[in-house]
Structure 1
Amino acid sequence: MELNKSIIGMVHVGALPGTPKNRLSITEIINAAISDAQKLVQGGVDAIMIENMHDRPYLNRKVGSEIVASMTAVAIKLRQEVSLPLGIQILAGANKQALAVAHAAGFDFIRAEGFVFGHLADEGMMDSDAAELLRYRKQIGADNIKIWTDIKKKHASHAISADVSICDMAKAAVFFLADGVIVTGNATGEEASIKDVQAVVEAVRLPVLIGSGITEQNIAGFWPYADAFIVGSSFKYDGNWQNEVELERVQSFMSRVKHLRNTY
């Protein structure tokens, strides 16, 4: 997938079987995910990513077989229904599992956390996994699937790497063969620092994505710098990631994007 100011809309898959918030059958979960995806497609996004964000509290790296199976069921149905590029993230840091699902379902990319430099996440300590993940991608024949990785990721403390700048982390991701780097704010829905984005863009020759806090109101400020924008909360009713996608919000956002594309 080539990134050219792409808008990647999020589908937050309902709480999966075995997780504390699960209330729906897998069929109901799939139907809800497809409904959100169809509204994103109708609204004009460039790509879609699915994520098990309702599965809180998240396991650290190792999710159960039921999560992998459920996400595969969602992913395969989504691939049948949607022709746009598709991606997946499995929380928390279950990068190998996400890659396996992506490969089975014919997806185009994954979002990885903990790729370089360990950090203390709200799930606990998370070590880097770039070496293991890229070897696994080679083993299963999934070299076509892009790995976009967070750096200085949200919902985490980076005190142990405080002497390592975000640019140094981005350079490490390049050296460890990531396909793109993601800059975020401190939490879901929080705006990234434009200075951080600018610095990373200048530091590396990889696609730079913004992974949180992009809204119809602030995207113009980030537009000249980032290659792609992952949008979740802004597409949901009341701007809350836990709600369903609201078509009117997507359409209004993409109208703003169309204006920016015509201006720059």
Structure 2
Amino acid sequence: MKFVELFGRLKSVVIGMVHVQALPGTPLSSMAIPQIVEEACREAEIYHNAGIDGLIIENMHDIPYSFSVGPEVCASMTAVCDAVRASYSSIPLGIQILSAANQPALAVALASGLDFIRAEGFVFSHVADEGILNACAGDLLRYRKQIGAERVQIYTDIKKKHSSHALTSDVSVVETARAAEFFLSDGLIITGTATGLQADPAELKDVAQSVKIPTLIGSGVTYDNVEDYLDANAMIIGSHFKKGGYWANQVDPERVKRFMEKIHKLRL
């Protein structure tokens, strides 16, 4: 399995979030590119020192998000990803570019030598807080083939957070998972309803039993509830690793260290 080859284990992989500071052209932008790169590498160093299993680099501070992602964002994310990859060549690295800039994320991953992307809107159209997000699996996988990026894995959100799924209320999370597997997703991501909110452990169990590809938890994992998610192939953790448990704050080295110490014990 490609997942095991990348992370070295099948379950309970911990993936930390590097939330890149607001990029040029976005409303909250205040830093020059060298400063943004330095801050991202500083966060990556904290995670590396704590023994994290992998990282996702994401432009989380580019609020409010837009489906129209300009070349300045892609260029800036490439600069960040290049620097993090150069400093930490042994850590599996992924990227997500908000909002739903899945093809640009693949291009950056290819250029920077990253291992995977997190993709929104892979199957079944829905209403996100940015607007209507249409399914993209066919175009995205064709683009991956065209640019020679087949080694870059695509982990896909299903029934994703910050969205209304009224359009697909008659399609269960299990049916959505099976559709994503059929459309050649490399792994499925289950979330709560918003950033930092807990995913349903019952959904994890149902989805994991229904597909043969990895199932990842994409929000809400904490030191106190991690036992509920040990059967997940991976846990993507952002908010809990920040000071005060709030996503926009800086990474808290003690929170990351404490969590990783616990997960190492639980894996025994």
User: TM tier, shorter chain?
Assistant: over 0.9
| Deviant stretches of 4+, over 2 Å | none
TM-score normalized by the length of structure 1: 0.97
- What is the CA RMSD across the aligned residues, in angstroms? 0.7
Once the two structures are TM-superposed, the CA of residue 90 in structure 1 deviates from its matched residue by: 0.3
- Is the counterpart of residue 214 in structure 1 residue 221 in structure 2? yes
Structure 1 unaligned regions, length at least 5: none
**Structure 2 residue 72 is the aligned partner of structure 1 residue 72:** no
Structure 1 position 190 matched with structure 2 position 200 = no
Secondary structure in structure 2 of the residue aligned to 1:54: coil
Does structure 1 residue 253 correspond to structure 2 residue 259?
yes
Q: Please give the per-residue CA displacement for 1:23-67, whole angstroms capped at 9, x wherever unaligned.
A: 00001000000000000000111001100010001012x300000
Quote how far apart the aligned CAs of 1:221 are: 1.4
- What secondary structure, in the 3-state scheme, does the structure 1 residue paired with 2:184 have? coil
1:239 to 240, 245, 255: 245
Tell me, yes or no, if structure 1 residue 11 matches structure 2 residue 18.
yes
Tell me, in whole angstroms, the C-alpha distance in 1 between the residues paired with 2:52 and 2:143: 30
Which of the numbers 129, 135, 158 marks the counterpart of 1:122? 129
Give, in whole Å, the separation in 2 of the partners of 1:136 and 1:91: 18
Q: Partner letter of residue 218 of structure 1?
A: N
Partner of 1:22: 29
**What is aligned with 1:158?**
165
The yes-or-no answer on 1:41 pairing with 2:48 is yes
Give 1:93's match in structure 2, choosing from 92, 100, 121. 100
1:230 lines up with 2:236 in the alignment: yes
Offset, 1:222: 1.4
State the TM-score, normalizing by the size of structure 2.
0.96
Q: How many residues align?
A: 260
How far is the alpha carbon of 1:246 from its aligned partner?
1.0
Q: Name the aligned partner's letter for residue 92 of structure 1.
A: S
Contact 2:229 2:235 in 1 (8 A): no
Secondary structure class of the residue paired with 1:55:
coil
- Aligned sequence identity (%): 52
Q: How far apart, in 2, do the equivalents of 1:51 and 1:99 lie?
A: 13
SS at match of 1:103: helix
